[in-house]
Structures are given as C-alpha cells and as structure tokens.
Structure 1
C-alpha cells in the first residue's frame, strides 16, 4: 500500500555526465522528488550520501574506482534506511544480481521511461522491491534463485486454485488473452485476477510475479 509522499531526496551515480543530465532534467519536473546530488563513481557516491543523506540512491552497476555493488555494500552497512536502485544495460544480468545481493532494493534498465523511473523511486521509498518492466524470463529466474529476498511478509498470502493456475501460466510467459483461452475465462476476468495476485504478492508487474512465485515455491522453472 502506497504512503503519502513528501519530497523524496535522490542521489544519482553514473559515470556518463550526459545520462546524469537527462535524469536531472526529468526529475526536476517531479513535484515530490528532488535530485539533491550526483556522483561519477562509487567513491564519490559514498561521499555524496554521507553529506546529503538522501532517501533513494540510483546507481549504475559499472563505474570507475568503485563499482555499484561495492558502493551498495558500504551504503547498506552504514545507511541501511536508504533505498538503492541499480541502473543497468539490458545485457548485464550478472551485475544486477550482484547489486541485489549487495542490498539494492530494485533495478532499472537505462532505457526505462520517465513513468517507470518515478514508479521505481516511489516503490522503493515505500519499502517495496522494484523489478524493471522489461525484465526477461531469464533474468527473473536468476533473481529468484539468488540470495535476494525482499518478500518478508509477516503473514503469507493464501492463493486459491484458480489464482495458482494463473500464476503458473504467467510464469510460463502467457498473455492474459492466452490464459483466458486456455482456462475459458474472459480477458477482463483474467486481468482482474492478475491484479488481485499483484496485490497479494505486493509486487508491481509480471517480473515481480515470476520472482515471488519461484522464491515461494509456487512455480518451478523447467530450466535448471
């Protein structure tokens, strides 16, 4: 459940100044998000966090002097209240896993649009993990098998047989239309059940469903 936001203070770390410029311009247009600092490498990021005490850090996984995972480990140890979001290229799955296992709460691909970046910031600020909408099945399964485990709900939700069936079909890569055709339900009904599943799991998208399902033994991928 979303909280009411004040101004969320953000620090960005990326060694490409042009990318930081673009993020700065985009975030300046957000009323409830404030970019308070920038860093070009991991060491500079740690200095900025110490000085500025942000709520959220968005950090590239590949940086000079100190990479994103090393910086994340330091920040998690010294500033555990700060939410860290990994920033990555589409082909850096192993580095994403390193960041998540180091303590990042979510990740974004560098081609994410404005709405997704804002959604990720607010989700992690609300203590919810965020998985990029463009997560591949391969990466979702890698995250699910990693040590990363943000799903520490006090009471595990119960899923009925129909919901479990839909979860398995989603994990197999079927669309709502394909699921409806297979189990003789309208697309609207499948979408309604999908929304209920998202709420119960406390995740945002298909990647979140896949990762939650594998982590909690609701689905077993064929690949080993």
Structure 2
C-alpha cells in the first residue's frame, strides 16, 4: 500500500514533532517534509510530491490562509487541513474560503487528526465539532432576514435533504452510503447537486445554507 505523503507547516517545532511521531508507524501516511512558514512550504512543494498538508494559520511571513489559497490555485489536488489555535469563526471561514478541506484545533486528540486525514484523502471534508459550532453560532448571530427567491424546501428533493442532514452531522461518504443504502457514486452525485442547487462551494457553505433557510429544526450550537 502506497502511503499518502504529508507536509507539516507550523512555526512550532513541538507541534510538527508530535504529528510526525504519531504518524511514524501508520501504514497509510508518511510525513516527508516540514516547514515553519508559508514560503518554505512552497520550497518543499516545488521539490517533492505531496498529497496532504497540515497547515497552521498564524505564522511569520506568509500566513496559513494566504498559503492555502495559493496552494489550491497551483496544486488543486493537494488536500489541506488547518491545524490551529485560532478558534474565532472569522479565521475558520477565511480558511474554508481559501480552499481548506478540513479544520482542527490544536487541542484535539491525535485520533481525530488521523480521522480528519483519512476523511479528506477519501474525498470528504472534515471540521472538528467545535469549529462547526463556531461557524453555526457566528452565522446565527449575523443571520440575514432576506427572503430567498427560491424556496429550498421545494428545490431540494427529499433524498437530497436526507443527505444534507447527514453531511451536517459530519457523516462520511461511506457512512451516508451505508445509512441510506445507496452507492458511493450516488452520494457523490447528491453532494454535487446540493452544491449546485444551493450555490455553495463546500460543506461549511451547506451548513450555513441549511441554517439560513431553516431546513432542519434540530441544528443546535
């Protein structure tokens, strides 16, 4: 089994060392390089092939948000997971808008770091529950009262709403497939339709859309 190649970008060596140590004996991931800022991350990317990056946000020089945006423009196949102490929803939204595939807080458990890594390499997004709650709370606090031109209760099919509900619950494509007894290809098709119909770019956007249009009564923060 070929291991996924990982680049660690963080200005704290203890963080990089901790992740490298945890990933050392895994069968599916191999940390091949480290960088302490965005500029040095690009030096690494120009010298070797990388599949996954764990990206800090607050660093000297090029920050993680700017680096992620540029990486996604130049290397769109590379997955990026933010690993940061920044808990403010504005940082989370900016990182997601830059193209990050996941967001974790640095106080998360090692098992969740691995869970996030495997999720994004399987084509899913992964946001820790605290990050999701911060996004939802922020959106509710600043929620617009503007009426939608198209009623989402009618433009989304019942099955699409079922899939959306499970996405909000952070279910993986495989878990959605098993719970709804549909193929992975069908799950992917529903996700594409949801993004197209709602005009969103990612899972975080779908969560905000569901809140704005009150599609579900039990989304709590």
Per the normalisation by structure 1, the TM-score is 0.66
Q: Does 1:64 align with 2:60?
A: yes
| Cα displacement string for residues 73-92 of structure 1 (whole angstroms, at most 9, x for unaligned residues) | 11111101101111111533
Q: CA deviation at 1:214?
A: 3.6
Counterpart-to-counterpart distance in 2, 1:210 and 1:74: 20
Compared with structure 1, are the counterparts of its residues 220 and 61 closer, same or farther at alpha carbon in structure 2 (3 Å cutoff)?
farther
**Given the superposition, is the C-alpha separation of residues 76 and 133 from structure 1 closer, same or farther in structure 2, using an over 3 Å criterion?**
same
For 2:131, what is the secondary structure of its paired residue? Answer: coil
2:28 maps to 1:40? no
* 1:102–1:221 CA distance, 2 compared to 1 (3 A): farther
- CA drift at 1:196: 5.0
Among 93, 104, 126, the alignment partner of 2:122 is 126
Q: Are residues 1:215 and 2:209 paired?
A: yes
3-state SS of the aligned residue for 2:116? helix
- Once residues 6 and 24 of structure 1 are traced to their aligned partners in structure 2, the CA distance between those partners, rounded to angstroms, is 18
Name the counterpart of 1:80. Answer: 76
Give the Cα separation in 1 of the matches to 2:160 and 2:79: 33
Gaps of 5+ in 2: 143-155, 170-178, 192-201
Q: How do residues 194-209 of structure 1 correspond to structure 2 at under 5 angstroms?
A: 196=180
Gapped regions of structure 1 (runs ≥ 5): 146-155, 172-194, 203-207
Match of 2:88?
92
Conserved 8 A contact 2:88-2:134: no
Aligned-residue CA RMSD (Å): 3.9
